Amino acid sequence: MIDICKEFPGVKALDNVSLNVKPGTVHALMGENGAGKSTLMKCLFGIYQRNAGTIYLEGKEVTFQNTRQALDNGVSMVHQELNQVRQRNILDNIWLGRYPKKGLVIDEDKMYNDTVEIFKDLDIDVDPRVKVSTLSVSQMQMIEIAKAVSYNSKVIVMDEPTSSLTEKEVDHLFRIISKLKSKNVAIIYISHKMEEILKISDYVTVMRDGTLIDTKSAKELTTDIIISMMVGRDMSDRFPPKVNHPGEVILEVEGLTENDRFGLKDVSFKLKKGEILGIAGLVGSKRTEIVEALFGMRHIDKGSIKLHGNVIENKNPKRALDNGFALVTEERRSTGIFPQLSITFNSIISNMGAYKVNGCFLSDKKMAGDTKWVIDSMNVKTPSQKTTIGSLSGGNQQKVIIGRWLLTNPEILMLDEPTRGIDVGAKYEIYQLINDLASKDKGIIMISSEMPELIGVTDRILVMSNGRVAGIVDSKNTTQEEIMKLSAKFIEGENYEDKVTN
C-alpha cells in the first residue's frame, strides 16, 4: 500500500500512509484509537474507497470495489466486532453466499468435509453443524479465522483478535498463526497488547493521527519504544498518580445470592466514598454478575444493598439509576452504544428528564450544551456533535459512554472492562478520569481482566472465584500471584495448580 489517503467530511483520516507486508510474516499495525489503523485496513478490504494512493497484491495493482472482490482475490479480514448469523450453524456462516453446489442443489457433503478439513488443520475441535449462538466468544473468533482460511487467503487482517480470549485461547490462536505463516500467508495483526505484539510479530508499523510514524523489525523494539512512537511522548508511568482519599462507607453489600447453581453465592463487601474498588477473577468467576445485580439487571434471591446505611432495592435499571447507580457495560458495541445515532443522542439518552421544557418538550439548547460538555471534558475526538458514534474509534466511544453516565451525577459508578480494545494513550486518559471522579467522592467499582491495570488504578481488589468472594486485598501490597491464587480458591472439579498456571 503506497501513499494511501482517505478523507471524511471534516477529517483527513489517512495522509500518505504506506505499508509493505511480506508473505509468511506477522506484521503488527499499532497506534492510538483514531490513528487510522482500521481505516487503512478498510481501504485494503474494499469497505472504503481511498482518495489517493496505490495498492499492489503480489506485484499486481488492485482496487477492490467491495469486500467480495477482496475475498475472491485472497484478502480476508477478521473483524474485532464479530458479525455472524448466530441462529444458523457454523457451516452456513462459513459458506454463506458461496455454497458449493452439485448441479442446482447445495453439496452438503462437500461443505461439511471441507469445513472439517480446515478445522483439523487449525486444531479447532467444534462440530460444524452446531448453531453459532451456542459457541463461546473465543470459539466464534476461531470460526471467523477458519472462514478467512477457507478463501485460500494470501493476506489475513486480524483486528484485536485476542480482546475476549483467555491466555490458553490466545496460545491456541498463536499456534494457528504459526501454521498460517508456514503456508506463506501474511498476517496483518492489529492489537493494543504490547506483550502480544512483541511475542508474535516479525515487523511493527506504528501510525499516529492518520500518518505513518515508522516500520521496524519487532526484534528492535521494546514496550517503551512502541509507546513513545504511538503517543509521541514518553509514558514511563502507565498509571496516573493517586489523588483520591477514601472516606466513610457509602455502599454495603451483604450476602447477595442467586438460587441458580452457577450464580452469585453470599457476596459481601463495602465501598467507601472516594474509593476505587477493583474486581478480579478468572473467566466465569461471576465478576460481571455483581455489577449487573447492583444495577437491577439480575434477580437476587437473598441479600441486601445499603446506600448511606439505608436499604435500597434496585429492582430494575431505572430504579438503580434513580438511586444514583451507573453502569458502563463490558460489551460496548452490543449493550453500550446506539451505533447509527449521533454523539448527541448517545450522550443524553440516560438523562432525558433533565432536558424537559414545559413538561413535554425537549430543549435542544440544553442537550447541545451537555453534549459539548461530554466532548470537551472527556476529550472526545469528533468532527461534530452530529457525527454517528459508530464512526468513532473504540476509545472515543468509551469516553462518550462514560460522559453519558456522568451527566446523571451518579454516586456509584460501575465500569466493566472500561479499557478493553483501547490504546495506551486513551487508557491513561480513562485512568485519569476514574482517579478524578474518585477524588470528588464518587464510589467507583471497576472490573478488569488486566491485573497490572487493577493494581495500578484501584485502592482495593475484590477477587471472585466461582461466584464467591475469595478475598479482598490492598492494591498497594498485593501481587499478581496472590490474586491468581485467590481466583482459583473455589474452583470445583479442576486441579488447583493447573488452573493457576493456565
- Rounded mean pLDDT, 42-50: 93
- Residue 496's pLDDT is 41
Q: Which CATH number fits domain 2-231: 3.90.1150.10, 3.40.190.150, 2.60.40.770, 3.40.50.300?
A: 3.40.50.300
Q: How far is CA 459 from the centre of its chain?
A: 24
Least confident of 321-330, 380-389, 414-423, 442-451: 414-423
Closest alpha carbon to 377 in 408, 411, 404, 353:
404
Using pLDDT thresholds of 50, 70 and 90, give the confidence band for residue 500: very low
Using pLDDT thresholds of 50, 70 and 90, give the confidence band for residue 205: very high
- Looking at residue 336, the DSSP 8-state letter turns out to be I
* Cα 32 from Cα 419, distance rounded (Å): 12
DSSP secondary structure string, 343-358? HHHHHHGGGGGGGEET
Q: Is the pLDDT of residue 460 over 90?
A: yes
Coil vs helix vs strand at 119 = helix
Same fold flag, 2-231 and 237-324+410-502? yes
Assigned C-alpha cell, 477 = 501490597
SS3 labels along 57-97 = ECCEEECCCCHHHHHHCCEEEECCCCCCCCCCEHHHHHHCC
Q: Which range has the top average pLDDT, 255-269, 309-323, 355-369, 395-409?
A: 309-323
What percent of the chain has a predicted confidence (pLDDT) above 70? 94
- Residue 413's pLDDT is 95
pLDDT in tens, 229-246: 887 755 557 788 888 999
- Rounded mean pLDDT, 133-146: 83
Using pLDDT thresholds of 50, 70 and 90, give the confidence band for residue 499: very low
- Rounded mean pLDDT, 379-399: 87
- Residue 59's pLDDT is 93
Least confident of 128-142, 197-211, 281-295, 341-355: 128-142
In 10 A of CB 261, how many CB atoms? 7
- Residue 263's pLDDT is 86
pLDDT in tens, 56-107: 999 999 999 999 999 999 999 988 766 788 889 999 989 988 888 888 899 8
Question: With 0-12 CB in 10 A as exposed, 13-18 as middle and 19+ as buried, what is 311?
Answer: exposed
Average pLDDT, the chain: 88
pLDDT in tens, 276-303: 999 998 777 899 999 999 999 998 999 9
Using pLDDT thresholds of 50, 70 and 90, give the confidence band for residue 33: low
Q: 237-324+410-502: what CATH class?
A: alpha beta
Closest alpha carbon to 95 in 151, 50, 49:
151
Q: Is the pLDDT of residue 457 over 90?
A: yes
Contact present, 447 and 416 (Cβ < 8 Å):
yes
* Cα 42 from Cα 36, distance rounded (Å): 10
What percent of the chain has a predicted confidence (pLDDT) above 90? 52
Contact present, 227 and 282 (Cβ < 8 Å):
no
Q: Is the pLDDT of residue 401 over 50?
A: yes
- Rounded mean pLDDT, 330-342: 85
Please report, for the chain, the start and end positions of each structural domain, with discontinuous segments joined by +.
2-231, 237-324+410-502, 332-409
pLDDT in tens, 170-180: 888 898 899 89
pLDDT in tens, 2-29: 999 998 766 788 999 999 999 999 999 9
- Residue 493's pLDDT is 44
Q: How far is CA 284 from the centre of its chain?
A: 17
Q: Is the pLDDT of residue 335 over 90?
A: no
- Residue 495's pLDDT is 42
